Amino acid sequence: MYLTENGTLTAVVGNTRSMRECFELRDADAGGRIGELTVPRAETTVETPALLPVINPNLDTISPRRLAEEFGAEILITNSYIIHGTEDVREQALEEGLHELLDFPGAIMTDSGSFQLSEYGDIDVTTEEILEFQHEIGSDIGTPVDIPTPPDVSRERAEDELATTQERLEVAEDVDTGDMLVSAPVQGSTYPDLREEAGSHADATDLDVFPVGAVVPLMNDYRYDDMVDAVAAAKRGLGADAPVHLFGAGHPMMFALGVAMGCDLFDSAAYALYARDDRYLTVRGTRQLAELDYLPCSCPVCTEHSPDDLRALPDRDREEELAAHNLHVTFEEIRRIKQAIRAGNLLELVEQRARAHPAMLDGYRALLDHAAQLEQSDPVSKGSFFYTSHESARRPEVRRHHERVTRLETPDSLFLTEGEPARGDEYDESWRVEPPFGPFPRALSKSYPFTAELPERTDRAALEAAVEGVVRLVEANPETEVTLGHWGWPDGVLEAVPERVEVVDLMGDGD
């Protein structure tokens, strides 16, 4: 616990603080979670991770009613600034309310015009006006006008704009918005310390939903590693119980990565924008319809059409069919991610997605830089750990064992070896060494994570991680005499083993 500047007592770790009323966590895997976002004004609960299709009130490719009924959308997002600025739509929204106007039975979130601000440099509403307007038209989750600071700006600009965003959040707290939830965007450009501070500040307000803002330019430039760092920093400030929205992230290829980071809400304009451009979304990237000889998908659109059929459709119909396919793929991936969280294999899914593009691999590697942070929410026990790439050696489960191994009780003399002990009798005990985890008492062999599935042909990263486990054990137990028996591990890997450990290569062990 520590005292914040204004003297309130705050827990350092989010989960010891009282839970936010509107958000409840049900299940976790790595940084990912299944949660329930209660949206009082819509009298509904949205299961997260959730996708919010973006609806342009002036042109809908797929009607909101169809989004709910055919695709199971529980929540969508539309832009209150566009509604506010389009006279006939504004009048209708004020008269009938947003739910009637859009004909959508679920929850409706509204954006404020911040995106327009970042694109055109100027908008003509204040936070107070736009929040009141969102409340008046019946929005369920409103958004203040924050300043979306782009990546790589000067520190001075990032700080100044963050200060303005923070003032707007304080204004937003004072606007009477009834039981409309209000989001508190987290900015800070590409400065992790500013993102973290912005997260803490937003978390200390009484606002409800936390978009990590201005990451779209990073995603457009395939800077998934920088995106991960920005989100990780925001999450450190926000604490575990805050529902986090990765604003503008609509490509299904990166949902698993975003969820593993701890994001709960995603919005997609991509499904419609890409369709307009004859682009076909897949979880492994985007394809041009013109280049497809086959449709690698089983959704209704792709089972009823060949690529030639789609290409032959009139523009408007083709756009609608492509948008429908794009949405099917998008919602399918969200369901797959939720199932992966349930089954405890979200990181295996992230590893698969990381193989779709080298930039995604950078994103996954950046995610593993934050293994200690992910470890805080990762369950102690879950389904079998699958070692499917050398990056697996850096997963939070491995890191956790390396912490835990320092607390295990050791005898006076200890033999560590892969597989069965070849010469265990001379020692008080013989423990197993299993790459990538390292040493553990044989009695734990059937416990998680040592039930892991590993390839027979191990790799250097796994061996190095195992040695790291040996080092941690030896350093924590200076009184214990340790012998390490291994099967032909390369010298380079063994270099890290402390000198006082006797190392025996069992392949050449004739005695």
**Binding-site residue positions:** 146, 214, 297, 299, 302
What 3-state DSSP class applies to 354?
helix
Is residue 323 close enough to count as binding Zn ion by CB under 5 A?
A: no
From residue 95, how far is each of 87, 92, 128, 356 by CA, in Å?
Answer: 12, 5, 20, 47
Binding footprint of Zn ion, residue count (CB under 5 A) = 5
Q: How many CB atoms lie within 10 A of CB 69?
A: 11
- The one-letter amino acid at 452: A
**What does the alpha-carbon distance between residue 341 and residue 241 come to, in Å, rounded to a whole number?**
17
What 3-state DSSP class applies to 486?
strand
Tokens of 494: 């063994």
Residue of 29, 111, 264, 378 marked catalytic: 111
Comparing CB distances to Zn ion, the nearer of 73 and 301 is 301
Comparing CB distances to Zn ion, the nearer of 275 and 463 is 275
Q: Is residue 83 a contact partner of residue 89, using CB atoms and an 8 Å limit?
A: yes
Closest CA to 242 of 269, 212, 273, 197: 212
Tokens of 101: 């106007």
Comparing CB distances to Zn ion, the nearer of 2 and 294 is 294
Give me the least distance between CB of 281 and Zn ion, in Å please.
Answer: 9
Give me the least distance between CB of 304 and Zn ion, in Å please.
Answer: 10
Q: Which stretch binds Zn ion (CB under 5 A): 107-115, 323-331, 428-436, 472-480?
A: 323-331
Q: Which stretch binds Zn ion (CB under 5 A): 60-68, 71-79, 319-327, 489-497?
A: 319-327
Give me the least distance between CB of 75 and Zn ion, in Å please.
Answer: 23
Site string for Zn ion, 293-312 (x = CB under 5 A): ----x-x-xx----------
Comparing CB distances to Zn ion, the nearer of 299 and 444 is 299
- Judged on CB neighbours under 10 Å (0-12, 13-18, 19+), 2 is exposed
Give me the least distance between CB of 380 and Zn ion, in Å please.
Answer: 39
Give me the least distance between CB of 300 and Zn ion, in Å please.
Answer: 8
Is residue 370 close enough to count as binding Zn ion by CB under 5 A?
A: no
Fill in the DSSP letter of residue 384.
P
Site for Zn ion in 4-63 (CB under 5 A): none
Comparing CB distances to Zn ion, the nearer of 95 and 317 is 317
Whether a cis peptide bond, with omega within 30° of 0, leads into 379 is: no
Q: Which stretch binds Zn ion (CB under 5 A): 79-87, 289-297, 338-346, 391-399?
A: 289-297
Q: Which stretch binds Zn ion (CB under 5 A): 71-79, 292-300, 332-340, 414-422?
A: 292-300
Query: Binding site for substrate: which residues?
Result: 146, 214
Comparing CB distances to Zn ion, the nearer of 169 and 310 is 310
Query: Binding site for Zn(2+): which residues?
Result: 297, 299, 302
Is residue 325 close enough to count as binding Zn ion by CB under 5 A?
A: yes
Has 511 been annotated as catalytic?
A: no
Place of tokens 């209660």: 38
**What does the alpha-carbon distance between residue 446 and residue 225 come to, in Å, rounded to a whole number?**
36
Site for Zn ion in 104-163 (CB under 5 A): none
- How are strands ordered across the β-sheet holding 265-268? 181-182, 141-142, 107-111, 75-79, 50-55, 265-268, 244-246, 210-212
**What does the alpha-carbon distance between residue 435 and residue 190 come to, in Å, rounded to a whole number?**
36
Give me the least distance between CB of 326 and Zn ion, in Å please.
Answer: 8
- The one-letter amino acid at 111: D
Q: Is residue 320 a contact partner of residue 62, using CB atoms and an 8 Å limit?
A: yes
Closest CA to 134 of 78, 73, 57, 209: 78
Closest CA to 412 of 426, 425, 428, 424: 428
Comparing CB distances to Zn ion, the nearer of 300 and 419 is 300
Give me the least distance between CB of 332 and Zn ion, in Å please.
Answer: 9
**What does the alpha-carbon distance between residue 250 and residue 474 come to, in Å, rounded to a whole number?**
47
- Catalytic residue numbers read 111
Binding positions for Zn ion, rule: CB under 5 A:
297, 299, 301-302, 325
